[in-house]
Amino acid sequence: MITRKILITGGAGFIGSHLIHLFVKKYPQYHIVNLDKLTYAGNLENLKEIEGKPNYDFIKGDIQDEAFVQQLFKEHNFDAVIHLAAESHVDRSIANPHEFIFTNIVGTVNLLNAARAIWEGNMEDRLFYHVSTDEVYGSLEMEDEPFKETTAYDPRSPYSASKAGSDHLVRAYFHTFGLPIVVSNCSNNYGPYQFPEKLLPLFINNIKNSRPLPVYGKGENVRDWLYVEDHATAIDMIFHKGTLGETYNVGGNNEWQNIKLIRKLCEIMDRKLGREEGASAQLITFVKDRAGHDLRYAIDASKIRNELGWEPSIKFDEGFERTVDWYLENEEWLKRVTTGDYQKYYEQQYLNR
Ligand code: NAD
Ligand code: TYD
């Protein structure tokens, strides 16, 4: 019997597809509706395995479209929302900030308004869960303490500014309208199904094809890396046990300077591809730095550990190796993503049924 109808936005993206896999399989009693616009970052092929499951539905739609979102909520009367849909790549936000404002801010407000409209008067057992990023806290110096939930927001890219705006609005709906919300801010995710514009899949693909590895600046920036399935389990835990109105920081306690991480990747790739030691590292090319490039992100995840008992379960060496293997074994996936063929899947599988 279905006990809850949950809207997951952005479920065809990197993290969303892992979350949908987890929820559809783990909770047959939940009906999961995946709403996704299928931008360049949305790939329904990531969800092939669960496509036919009775507790899963996909709806193609744009959260920027207020009337559509209102109608969707009226029709489906969702009990809960897990909101991941976003424009997510910093470099794209530098090239074209507008889309980030429309999707990340206006789209989030459209969802908040629609949830409020159907939940008004009965907020019990309802939840609007907003998935966000550690980038809203800004940039740390090497000696600074990691970000806490209480760290003041200081976003410095159009991407992080748009996510910060959406976080503030979600919290404002809690305080002003009593909308039951929870927010999490997570560090850099890595793993299968990530669009190859982000550092790791891009570099794996480039090494495989013996193309240059464009390292921004001197490669001295530091990121905290978390295996994507661990992020999905954190979302699961916060969704079920998080306190309303609260924020949870999620991280891997796993900081890497870019250049060290890239050198490690090169070593693994040499081994996996049977290339001479040092061959992949020769592809490293230092290029012009990203504008406003945040120096360091680091997360203090003690709140989620102490209050909810969540910890990353996958050790970095294992997750990293698993990730490299996945991209090497899924050559066809990479090819379809880089040629654009994946974008035909919706039409072929859904429209021609
Ligand atoms: P992604 O870019 O891989 O996926 C985003 C998904 O949202 C895509 O499927 C896309 O089609 C969809 N989408 C975009 N605009 C839409 C719109 N207007 N209407 C409906 N759907 C739309 O992103 P991701 O890396 O999976 O990130 C998911 C969420 O997690 C984002 O909110 C991001 O800010 C947050 N986050 C990401 C990371 C990370 O390392 N990737 C870390 C922390 C938080
Ligand atoms: P990215 O994967 O874009 O994530 P974010 O900017 O959200 O942290 O980049 C991770 C780090 O790698 C970041 O410091 C920028 C750097 N980077 C490069 O040096 N070269 C690249 O081609 C890319 C995409 C990123």
258 lines ligand 2 (CB under 6 A): yes
4-193+225-253+296-314 — its CATH code?
Answer: 3.40.50.720
Question: Strand 56-60 vs strand 80-83: parallel, antiparallel, or unpaired?
Answer: unpaired
The minimum-distance atom of ligand 2 relative to the CA of 159 is 7
Q: Which protein residue's CA is at the shortest distance from atom 6 of ligand 2?
A: 90
Positions in the chain whose pLDDT score sits under 70: 352-353
Ligand nearest to the CA of 226: 1
Residue 33 and residue 59 in contact, taking contact as beta carbons nearer than 8 Å: yes
Choosing from 7, 9, 15 the residue with most ligand 1 atoms within 8 A of its CB, the one to mutate for a pocket test is 15
Q: How many CB atoms lie within 10 A of CB 152?
A: 8
Residue 188 CA, closest ligand 2 atom number: 8
State the pLDDT at residue 353: 61
> Across the beta sheet with 4-9, what order do the strands follow?
56-60, 30-36, 4-9, 80-83, 127-133, 181-186, 247-250
Phi, psi for 9 (deg, rounded to 5): -95, 145
d(CA 67, CA 72): 9
For the chain, the structural domain boundaries read 4-193+225-253+296-314
Confirm or reject: Cβ of 157 under 6 Å from ligand 1. no
Partnered with residue 257 across adjacent β-strands are 222
Which of 84, 7, 8, 101 lies closest to 41, judged by CA? 84
Q: Which ligand is nearest to the CA of 215?
A: 2
Quick one: which of 80, 221, 245, 96 has its CA closest to 162?
96
Quick one: pLDDT at residue 350?
87
The confidence score (pLDDT) of residue 41 equals: 98
Task: Return the pLDDT at 66.
Answer: 98
pLDDT value of residue 323: 98
Which residues, including other chains, have CB under 8 Å from residue 147's CB and lie 6 or more apart? 134, 137, 140, 185, 249, 297, 298, 299, 300
Q: Compute the distance between CA of residue 316 and CA of residue 256 in angstroms, rounded to an integer.
A: 11
Closest-lying ligand to the alpha carbon of 285?
2
Assess whether the C-beta atom of 164 lies below 6 angstroms from ligand 1: no
Rounded CA separation 325/321 (Å) = 6
3-state SS, 163-217, equals HHHHHHHHHHHHHHHCCCEEEEEECEEECCCCCCCCHHHHHHHHHHCCCCEEEEC
Q: Give the ligand 2 atom nearest the CA of 219.
A: 19
Report the nearest-CA residue for atom 23 of ligand 2: 199
Is 163 a pocket residue for ligand 1 (Cβ < 6 Å)? yes
Is the CB of 188 inside a 6 Å radius of any atom of ligand 2? Answer: yes
For residue 274, the CA-to-ligand 2 centroid distance in Å is 27
Q: Give the catalytic positions in this structure.
A: 134-135, 159
pLDDT score, position 126: 98
Q: Whose CA is nearest to atom 22 of ligand 2?
A: 214
